[in-house]
A and B are shown apart, each in its own frame.
Chain A
Amino acid sequence: MTNAAVHMEGQLHAPAHGAVATAAVHASGQQHPIKLYLVVWGWLFVLSTCSYLVDYFGLHGYLRWSLILLFMVLKAGLIVAVFMHMAWERLALAYAILLPPIAVLVFVSIMVLESEYTHFLRVLFFAAPS
């Protein structure tokens, strides 16, 4: 794939010296077969249907929650990796974007403790437990 090497740094994605007519040959940027997108699209439909069916069949408890999380993570992974091209980006970018959200998980665990404490106090002082 040396045909894209005409693009020097600093003029990213500029058409190669006005050679617009041959532009189709001078593919630049993220180029992947259309089929890949169609396959991912199909999988997203399947996974969405699955997560809808979790509700439709009224599954409960840990089975419901783990299935919801599983389908959610798979869908999110497909969108980020393929549709947003993160799978082909340089690692320095991928890690800079994908690692910080881990801080959210820390926040989640803090708030779980906090809301359990709040719930405990409310049950103790204000209301009948639900």
Chain B
Amino acid sequence: MAETVLTNPGHSTARLEGWRGIAADWASDQRAFKNVSWGKAMMWIFLLSDTFIFSCFLLSYMTARMSTTVPWPNPSEVFALNIAGNHIPLILIAIMTFVLISSSGTMAMAVNFGYRRDRVRTAALMLATAAFGATFVGMQAFEWTKLIMEGVRPWGNPWGAPQFGASFFMITGFHGTHVTIGVIFLLAIARKVLRGDFDVERRGFFTSRKGYYEIVEITGLYWHFVDLVWVFIFAFFYLW
């Protein structure tokens, strides 16, 4: 990690170590997050609130599944696909997971090239991320279509506990919405990067404020969060 450079190194290290440093920052009667811009801090706080929303969805799913006396449909079978005559369990979800992880990888590298002010590569990697995201949403649309055709509804399904449909549509639907918004966010920022807005400090259309390459990292935070939520959905809804 020798090449690591922190944002605004004048404040990069806490004045005190560990908990004392945290207390000093929070009690400083100034800004608590010294070397973190407001944009990044607000994105983190938004993501924290989003964490609670998704937690509540997963919790209600857990409560429904634990309290029902009807057997829960086996996700391994429900999401199985027949590919070339082979019956492969959960394969679509596995592919979706890999697609989303790949998008996270390209996003992380986009952030890196953004801070190196490599305009073209940053935009290209962001567009690749958006393409992976769109692929993910497309596969999710396919999955929804398949399940709806098989008779899954929010109030019932052919295999077991009726709450399965409600949990499935609510959790994956909300996550898919997040991915869709992320794709739009990525395309908007990639356009700005490609146009060179952050090199010439062009002012934003809505805000009239200058933009910086940090917005790529902030976009990245949102995108990685979408991937992070999928990790939990994959574990609890599809694998459990």
Contacts and interface: CB of A to CB of B under 8 A. Distances in A.
B33 A93 contact: yes
Contact of A95 (B22, B199, B213): B22
Interface of B: 1, 3-12, 14, 18, 21-22, 25-26, 32-37, 41, 44-45, 47-48, 51-52, 55, 59, 62-64, 66-71, 76, 89-90, 94, 97-98, 101-102, 104-105, 107-109, 111-112, 114-118, 199-201, 210, 212-214, 217, 220-221, 224-225, 227-228, 231-232, 234-235, 238-240
B14 A91 contact: yes
Contacts of B238: 55
Given A12-B214, A55-B89, A83-B224, 11 more contacts: A1-B9, A27-B115, A30-B111, A31-B116, A44-B104, A51-B235, A68-B239, A76-B228, A93-B41, A93-B44, A122-B67
Chain B interface SS verdict (over half): helix
Contacts, number: 227
Interface of A: 1-2, 4-5, 7-9, 12-15, 20, 23-24, 27-34, 36-38, 40-41, 44-45, 48, 51-52, 54-56, 58, 64-65, 68-69, 71-72, 75-76, 79-80, 82-85, 88-93, 95-97, 100-101, 104, 107-108, 111-112, 114-116, 118-119, 122-123, 126-130
A40 B105 CA distance: 8
A111 B52 contact: no
B201 to A, nearest CB: 7
A7 B115 CA distance: 13
